[in-house]
Amino acid sequence: MKYLLIILLGFSIVSCGTTDKQDPTVTSEKTEASAASQPDSASFTTLEWVDPVSLDLGSITKGQVVEVSWKFKNTGSKPLTISNVSAGCGCTTPDPPKEPIAPGAEGVIKAKFNSENFSGHVTKEVYVQANNSNRNNGADNKLSFSADIKE
């Protein structure tokens, strides 16, 4: 019985070490699909946040709807296109600029926060997708605000 257990343990260790070989056609298809979903780097521009990316709204009353905004500037040489702005939850409704921002021009991203279902200290996030090359894996396009919600 002892030997049988050792043999079974040995087989299980050996079988865990096997790897599946990938089909090279599948890998190349994934690479092509990934490249197709990436924006053209020739259309990238740079974005500078004029306002701080993290805002403190201070104290607000529960149920109050507050509008927050972040001003930015297109510091690049191509038009800045905001392709998507999303909030971390349904309590925040973002309002991005509809038209591209010309080089050297400024724009504003607004969001409305409904504090009805919250109390105490809250922090909310807004994510911006744009054709800016200085994104740092999205970190430069994450906006946030915090507030202390009083009853």
Domain ranges of the chain: 43-150
Q: What is the pLDDT of residue 41?
A: 66
Contacts of 79 (CB under 8 A, 6+ apart): 45, 100, 101, 102, 103
- Of residues 132, 148, 122, the one with CA closest to residue 39: 132
13/5 Cα distance (integer angstroms)? 12
* Tens-digit pLDDT string for the chain (151 aa): 666 656 665 655 655 554 445 555 545 554 454 444 445 567 889 999 999 999 999 999 999 999 999 999 999 999 999 999 999 889 999 999 999 999 999 999 999 999 999 999 999 999 999 998 876 555 568 999 999 999 8
With respect to CATH, is domain 43-150 assigned 2.60.40.10?
yes
User: pTM of the entire structure?
Assistant: 0.69
Q: What is the pLDDT of residue 40?
A: 53
